[in-house]
A and B are shown apart, each in its own frame.
Chain A
Amino acid sequence: MAEDVTQLLARWSGGDKEALDQLMPLVYGELRRLANYHLMREKPGHTLQSTALVHEAFLRLIDQRNVQWQNRAHFFGVAAQMIRRILVDHARAHQTAKRGGGAATVAIDDALQISKKRDLDVVALDDALNSLATLDPQQGRIVELRFFAGLTIEETAEVIGISPATVKRDWNTAKAWLYRELSRSDQP
């Protein structure tokens, strides 16, 4: 399987659009499997470690003997999209389920810490991110890599092939824009 994915990546970066369609389910499946595995294992208070997940998937899926710098960059790009898709799918399903029940407080444990991040509306974020990508496709990719794949500023710069300073600037302005868009959608 490692060889398949490596070849598909190479074909895709060579301009073969079909290769991506074949690549997606492979990467998606692996990421999902890893996500579930990690979720159960993580300590409370920690949530999904996207970076670790993507790196692990990379090691599993890519034939390390033939790996090139470009392969890695492309893979991260794909993986970030995949994680975004996984999360949005789950969030949609979750929202449907939630509409049935009321929002009562349930205390379970003194020590439980429900992260504020959980309140983030992933579906709304996804919509806003699509709008941002129409204004500035590069910023869309930056957010995908930073937030969904958990890459650092430097790693993101490496994957896209721009300077870290640009990534930082675009990331900050993108956050401001997305934050405002999401706050707007909160209002009735």
Chain B
Amino acid sequence: MNAADWQIVKEALDTASRLEPDEKAAYLDRICQGRADLRAEIQSLLSAQEESEDFLEGPPPEPVIGVKLGAYRITALIGEGGMGSVYRAVRDDNSYTQEVAVKVLKRGMDTAAVVSRFRAERQILASMEHPNIGRLFDGGTTPDGLPYFVMELIEGASLTEFCDRNRFSIVERLKLFRKVCDAVDYAHRRLVVHRDLKPSNILVTAAGEPKLLDFGIAKLMSPDGALQPTMTFVKMMTPEYASPEQVRGEPVATSTDIYSLGVILYELLTGHRPYRLTSRLLHEAAMVICQVEPEKPSSVVRRTEEVAPDLRITPDSVASVREGKLERLQRRLSGDLDNIVLKALRKDAQRRYSSAAELSEDIWRYLHQLPVRARPDSFPYRAAKFASRNRLSLAAAALAVAGLVGGLAFAVREARIAQAERQRAERRFNDVRKLANSFLFEFHDEVAKLSGSMTARELVVRKALQYLDSLASESSGDLELQRELAKAYQRVGDVQGLAGEANLGDTAGALKSYQKAGGILEDVLRRAPGKETKMELATIYDRLATVNAGPDRGFGYAQRSVDIRRELAAEAPGDPKSHASLGSGLWALAQQYVQKGDIRKALEIRLAMVREMELAAEGLKTPRSRRNVALAYKSVGATESKLGNFQNALQYLRRAVAIDEQLVREYPDDVLHRMDLSFGLSDTGYTLRRMGKLEEALQYYRRVLPIRREMAEADPKDHRAQRAHSTTWARIGGILGDLGRTSEALEALRQAFRIRWPGGLAALDRAEDVEVAEVLADFGDILFQDYERTRNAASLRQARVWYQRSDSVFRRLEATGGLSAVYAERVRLVRDRLPRS
């Protein structure tokens, strides 16, 4: 190809990359004009273009190879770590070719101190000769003043990697681990503590010999006793292997290495680490390392852990490189090996193995079926630990009650810390979660009773959400936890805006929380279908349907709830509870159809609901299930009545009334059943009135009245009770009006009015209440009916005064946009009867 061709190819490449596939071919045909070589060139570059997006986009590689350090010349970079970079190097004096590893520390370490400590320790470090310890040859500073160490070059895999790759059994792993213990013991007897033992510092050569790297290096960088180096330590090392005393910044001894050996052994045997820290903050890491008790190796192997987005540790993955079968692995680990590992891992350095040799010996005992020294923690010891743990919870609770904000912040912080190592310390996590949850709910309910507590309550909810959100983003692996989370979101949603409860009136927020809960549970269900999860999910959809923003969305939620409940009922045929559950789902779905205005569909669903409720009550026979049957009858009766099927309506309503009357007789102290009865009676009255059976209707309403009065008088502050009482009087007034008993009718309406609006007419000037407008119009109706019968001009005049009053309330409502279209008919009637101006 020549330069001219390249210009064509370049142009074509640029254009073709922006074309749709079908346009591309035609374009290439045109541009190449039969030249197959150009065509092939462009094709090959087009596919290269797709892969080359990131090509050359990063920085170019570094030029450091070839630099001379003392007698050594750098030949290649092996890797970069927290402390610095490690290079491969050769002796440069041509005397002999020996390859070594050179570790160059990063800038930012206390260079001068490191170098001087190295000089002090050099002798002892260089004198360590053990087949399982990597030799340290030399050290110095680079021309730029950075400390470096020349070490034996060891090629191999990390301890854990080696064992997994070779599918080592537990016994093989233990044998290899004993060699590590022996090497550590050798160093300890020379008073050299490693301080940074971890699998990646223990390489296993192809010959199967473990080699410990970097012995003594960590000490050069962190002198005893000072806090500052500990901060550095946590930043630059892997804190998962650090001992409690190390993260607390206390002086370290050989017992620190024993602890790290315990962590390594834990990982070697189980594939898990006792803690998986997600936070690198010192105090958070310290909290976990110093307080959380690790789970027993024999039980941790049952866990699934997501250690990285693309890396999951599962019971299968663990067992497959060890004993093959999970049960076998568990049997091997439980008992002696649990005790050995946990003894090495004890928080209290005094209670660990006193030397690496002792740990090694205990493993030897295990391997030879001799009794091991390690024992599980005694009961009094554990009980004491438990009490001290709970003292913390109690303290947190006390704090919270004393100061809402501070207390919750404390709980949330606790929870976050727990979250960092959640899969290791579930018990503790659960404590914190429960604590935080009970904060939110018990607290919220208490605080809600105080006036002016809105801000505080909102804060509680906001904090709880923050906490849950952060938890949710990191806990996708654990299904149980997911379900707990969903429950917590549901409860937050309830506090935000569940109608009928003390809530913050934040329906948008509630909707969001319920959606989160629903999303989580749908996911859990996909991964592990289960009855409980389905039940929980259906409950969430009911809530969603109740707080939904638009009628159509609520419809979808209610439908999903019904579908789930139907599945559950099908899975457990004949189970009365699942019938009850399906019944209540159908109830909510019918409500949605009523809101949509599809009364016929609502009726159909309610009839289905009746069947479910009857089946449930047959099995359960509880007052509650019988009450539900009555409720179902009443809902069908009310719908039939609306549709004008009065005979059907009366049939269902009478059956409902019979059940409620029976319940009232059986449970005379339970006000609920009397209230239920009152609804059945008033619906019957309503239907009879529409049938024109006015006297009968009146009788039913008069039976309603004493029940409603009782309720209203029992709690003068209960607005719903007052309203129900008032409405009964208004209905009675309406029927009396129909019957032409005008003065009685007006008296009944005055009763209705007084109950609801004790301030009288004067208080109505600014009223923006549609029910006020309705009652005012009711007065007008009665007087207008009287005028129509008697042609009495005074009645017409008075009727118009009431209609005028009603209309001004309707107008105020219209002006503020607070008038629902449902009232259009009522408003039209009122205005028709007003004098034309």
Q: Are B66 and A93 in contact (CB under 8 A)?
A: yes
Q: A99-114: contact bitstring with B at CB < 8 Å (1 yes, 0 no)?
A: 0110011111111111
Q: Which residues of B contact A45 (CB under 8 A)?
A: 80
Q: Which residues of A contact B85 (CB under 8 A)?
A: 44
Q: Give the contacting residue for A44; candidates B45, B64, B106; CB below 8 A.
A: B106
Q: Give the contacting residue for A115; candidates B58, B78, B213; CB below 8 A.
A: B58
Residue of B whose beta carbon sits closest to that of A105? B157
| CB of A70 closer than 8 Å to a CB of B | no
| CB of B44 closer than 8 Å to a CB of A | yes
**A112 and B80 in contact, given A176-B45, A179-B55, A180-B45 (Cβ under 8 angstroms):** yes
Q: Which residues of B contact A89 (CB under 8 A)?
A: 63
Q: Which residues of A contact B666 (CB under 8 A)?
A: none
CB distance from B84 to the nearest CB of A (A): 8
A150 to B146, CA, bound (A): 27
| CB of A172 closer than 8 Å to a CB of B | yes
Q: A113-154: contact bitstring with B at CB < 8 Å (1 yes, 0 no)?
A: 111011010100000000000111000000100111010000
Please report which residues of chain A, range 24-50, place their CB below 8 angstroms from some CB of chain B when the two chains form the complex.
32, 35-37, 39-41, 43-50
| CB of B79 closer than 8 Å to a CB of A | yes
Q: Are B14 and A169 in contact (CB under 8 A)?
A: yes
Q: Are A101 and B200 in contact (CB under 8 A)?
A: no
A98 to B74, CA, bound (A): 11
Q: Are B58 and A117 in contact (CB under 8 A)?
A: yes
Interface centre among A109, A117, A146 (most CB of B within 10 A): A109
Residue of A whose beta carbon sits closest to that of B198? A110
A108 to B85, CA, bound (A): 9
A43 to B84, CA, bound (A): 8
Residue of B whose beta carbon sits closest to that of A136? B6
A122 to B55, CA, bound (A): 13
CB distance from A181 to the nearest CB of B (A): 9
Please report which residues of chain B, range 36-68, place their CB below 8 angstroms from some CB of chain A when the two chains form the complex.
44-46, 48-49, 51-52, 55-56, 58-67
**A148 and B154 in contact, given A40-B144, A94-B66, A172-B14 (Cβ under 8 angstroms):** no
**A176 and B49 in contact, given A87-B63, A108-B200, A136-B6 (Cβ under 8 angstroms):** yes
| CB of A83 closer than 8 Å to a CB of B | yes
The count of residues in chain B whose C-beta lies closer than 8 Å to any C-beta of chain A is: 64
CB distance from A85 to the nearest CB of B (A): 10
**A108 and B10 in contact, given A41-B107, A90-B65, A178-B56 (Cβ under 8 angstroms):** no
Q: Which residues of B contact A134 (CB under 8 A)?
A: 3
Please report which residues of chain B, range 332-368, place their CB below 8 angstroms from some CB of chain A when the two chains form the complex.
none
Please report which residues of chain B, range 123-154, place their CB below 8 angstroms from some CB of chain A when the two chains form the complex.
142-144, 146, 153-154
Please report which residues of chain B, range 5-19, place their CB below 8 angstroms from some CB of chain A when the two chains form the complex.
6-7, 10, 13-14, 17
| CB of A97 closer than 8 Å to a CB of B | yes
| CB of B88 closer than 8 Å to a CB of A | yes
Q: Are A44 and B56 in contact (CB under 8 A)?
A: no
Q: Give the contacting residue for B79; candidates A98, A112, A147; CB below 8 A.
A: A112
CB distance from B142 to the nearest CB of A (A): 7
**A106 and B3 in contact, given A39-B64, A48-B62, A50-B59 (Cβ under 8 angstroms):** no
Q: Are B81 and A112 in contact (CB under 8 A)?
A: yes
| CB of B75 closer than 8 Å to a CB of A | yes
Q: Are A106 and B79 in contact (CB under 8 A)?
A: yes
Q: Are B203 and A47 in contact (CB under 8 A)?
A: no
A172 to B45, CA, bound (A): 11
Q: Which residues of A contact B52 (CB under 8 A)?
A: 175-176, 178-180
Interface centre among B60, B67, B99, B107 (most CB of A within 10 A): B60
Q: Are B81 and A111 in contact (CB under 8 A)?
A: yes
**A108 and B81 in contact, given A83-B60, A147-B56 (Cβ under 8 angstroms):** yes
Please report which residues of chain B, range 411-437, place their CB below 8 angstroms from some CB of chain A when the two chains form the complex.
none
Interface centre among B14, B56, B77 (most CB of A within 10 A): B56
Q: Which size bracket describes the interface of A in this complex?
A: 35 or more
Q: Are A122 and B60 in contact (CB under 8 A)?
A: yes
Q: Give the contacting residue for B63; candidates A90, A172, A178; CB below 8 A.
A: A90
Q: Which residues of A contact B97 (CB under 8 A)?
A: 100
A8 to B102, CA, bound (A): 41
**A87 and B56 in contact, given A94-B66, A107-B203 (Cβ under 8 angstroms):** no
Q: Are B59 and A146 in contact (CB under 8 A)?
A: no
Q: Give the contacting residue for A175; candidates B56, B67, B142; CB below 8 A.
A: B56
CB distance from B797 to the nearest CB of A (A): 84
| CB of A170 closer than 8 Å to a CB of B | yes
Q: Give the contacting residue for A180; candidates B48, B60, B154, B157; CB below 8 A.
A: B48
Q: Are A94 and B76 in contact (CB under 8 A)?
A: yes
Q: Are B158 and A107 in contact (CB under 8 A)?
A: yes
| CB of A22 closer than 8 Å to a CB of B | no
| CB of B760 closer than 8 Å to a CB of A | no
Q: Are B82 and A111 in contact (CB under 8 A)?
A: yes
Q: Are B60 and A148 in contact (CB under 8 A)?
A: yes
| CB of B155 closer than 8 Å to a CB of A | yes
Residue of A whose beta carbon sits closest to that of B65? A94
| CB of A66 closer than 8 Å to a CB of B | no
CB distance from B206 to the nearest CB of A (A): 8
**A114 and B62 in contact, given A37-B144, A135-B3 (Cβ under 8 angstroms):** no
Q: Which residues of A contact B61 (CB under 8 A)?
A: 47-48, 87, 91, 115, 117-118, 120, 122
A179 to B52, CA, bound (A): 6
Please report which residues of chain A, range 44-85, place their CB below 8 angstroms from some CB of chain B when the two chains form the complex.
44-50, 83
Q: Which residues of B contact A32 (CB under 8 A)?
A: 63
Q: Are B3 and A136 in contact (CB under 8 A)?
A: yes
CB distance from A125 to the nearest CB of B (A): 8
CB distance from A48 to the nearest CB of B (A): 4
Residue of B whose beta carbon sits closest to that of A182? B55
Residue of A whose beta carbon sits closest to that of B206? A104
Q: Which residues of A contact B51 (CB under 8 A)?
A: 179
Residue of B whose beta carbon sits closest to that of A176? B49
Q: Give the contacting residue for B82; candidates A44, A136, A176; CB below 8 A.
A: A44
Residue of A whose beta carbon sits closest to that of B62? A48
A101 to B90, CA, bound (A): 11
| CB of B631 closer than 8 Å to a CB of A | no
Q: Are B238 and A40 in contact (CB under 8 A)?
A: no
A67 to B13, CA, bound (A): 39
Q: Give the contacting residue for A48; candidates B48, B60, B106; CB below 8 A.
A: B60
Interface centre among B51, B62, B79, B106 (most CB of A within 10 A): B62
Please report which residues of chain B, range 736-766, place their CB below 8 angstroms from some CB of chain A when the two chains form the complex.
none
**A108 and B78 in contact, given A146-B56, A173-B10 (Cβ under 8 angstroms):** yes
Q: Which residues of A contact B44 (CB under 8 A)?
A: 180
| CB of A86 closer than 8 Å to a CB of B | yes
Q: Are B3 and A48 in contact (CB under 8 A)?
A: no
Interface centre among B10, B61, B84, B143 (most CB of A within 10 A): B61
Q: Which residues of B contact A117 (CB under 8 A)?
A: 58-61
Residue of B whose beta carbon sits closest to that of A125? B56
Q: Give the contacting residue for B45; candidates A98, A105, A173; CB below 8 A.
A: A173
Residue of B whose beta carbon sits closest to that of A148? B60
| CB of B408 closer than 8 Å to a CB of A | no
Q: Which residues of B contact A36 (CB under 8 A)?
A: 63-64, 67, 143-144
Q: Which residues of A contact B200 (CB under 8 A)?
A: 107-110
**A97 and B79 in contact, given A36-B144, A40-B146 (Cβ under 8 angstroms):** no
A120 to B153, CA, bound (A): 25
A sample of 10 cross-chain residue pairs with beta-carbon separation below 8 angstroms, ordered by A number, consists of A35-B63, A47-B59, A47-B60, A109-B79, A110-B158, A117-B61, A122-B60, A176-B48, A179-B48, A179-B49
A residues whose Cβ falls under 8 Å from a Cβ of B: 32, 35-37, 39-41, 43-50, 83, 86-87, 89-91, 93-94, 97-98, 100-101, 104-115, 117-118, 120, 122, 134-136, 143, 146-148, 150, 169-170, 172-173, 175-180, 183
Which 5 A-B residue pairings sit nearest by Cβ, starting from the closest?
A: A109-B81, A179-B52, A112-B79, A180-B48, A97-B75
B residues whose Cβ falls under 8 Å from a Cβ of A: 1-3, 6-7, 10, 13-14, 17, 44-46, 48-49, 51-52, 55-56, 58-67, 75-82, 84-86, 88, 90, 97, 99, 101, 104, 106-107, 142-144, 146, 153-158, 161, 198-200, 203, 213, 238
Q: A97-B90, A100-B97, A112-B81 are in contact. List 4 more A-B contacts (CB 8 A).
A: A111-B238, A114-B77, A143-B56, A176-B46
